[in-house]
Amino acid sequence: MTAVSLDLASLLCSRLCHDLLSPVGALSNGLELLAEEKDPAMRQKCFELLEQSAKISADKLRFFRLAFGAAGGFGDMVPLAEARSLVDALVGNNGRIAVNWVLGGDSLPKPAVKTLLNLSLIAIDALVRGGTLDIGAEAHEGGSEIVVRASGQRIAFDPAIGQALDGTLPGSELSSRTAPAAMIQQLAASLGGGVQVHVAADALVMGAVLPAA
């Protein structure tokens, strides 16, 4: 493993820990409240908090397992239903984003699914005031094509993420925020493909073309 690869892996771990800190912290707080609370109504609210936080934590772990990890439980092809369920769960915990899907076929190669998940993650982060997430993907003899569009009242998109997506971000400027974008850019480049991005005030559009291995 090169120093650059090690740095990227470390930053992806940092991103995962950052995203899990809030729901896991809520679990800890809920357990503390439950140990001290005697009122039945308040104890019920504690149980509801614990249930919600546990679900969010599990949803994020399932998402990151495939988006960042080796996902050893899958073969070379991953069912699109699995990718859809992961994104829908992540968005469902947000509550302010509607998702529309246009999927061709039943499965995609694992690199394409990882790309779809990470582009979706970037799009969700950009919809700070909520909005609509449109996701399309299909596989054909030449490879896979993915497009993700986020639209809403305000798009919060760090230009450094755009640089990471097109491969122009210096390695010294990588962060846990830009690491997912850098990972899928490297993944696409390794297959002879690429990632494109276009951002406006009310929309963010990202696309990826991944030739067949």
The string of DSSP codes covering 5-28 is HHHHHHHHHHHHHHHHHHHHHHHH
* Nearest in space to 177 (alpha carbons), one of 164, 190, 189: 164
Report pLDDT for 209: 95
| Confidence tier at 93 by pLDDT (50, 70, 90) | low
Mean pLDDT, rounded, for 123-147? 94
Distance CA 107, CA 129 (A): 32
In angstroms, the CA 137 to CA 141 distance is: 14
Distance CA 10, CA 191 (A): 23
Mean pLDDT of 44-54: 85
**Mind listing the pLDDT tens digit for each residue in 14-37?**
898 888 888 888 888 888 877 887
The domain segmentation of the chain, as residue ranges, is 3-211
**DSSP strand pairing (131-140 vs 97-104):** parallel
Mean pLDDT of the 97-121 span: 94
Q: How do residues 140-165 score in pLDDT, each as one tens digit?
A: 888 999 999 999 988 999 999 999 99
H or E segment at 159?
Answer: helix 159-166
CA-to-CA distance for 93 and 99, rounded, in angstroms? 13
Q: So what's the pLDDT on residue 72?
A: 59
Amino acid in the structure at residue 123 = A
Cα 154 to Cα 40, 87, 130, 144, 177: the distances in Å are 42, 21, 8, 30, 19
Q: Are 196 and 148 in contact (CB under 8 A)?
A: no
Contact by Cβ (8 Å): 213, 77: no
- Over 70: is that where the pLDDT of 1 sits? no
Name the CATH superfamily for 3-211: Histidine kinase-like ATPase, C-terminal domain (3.30.565.10)
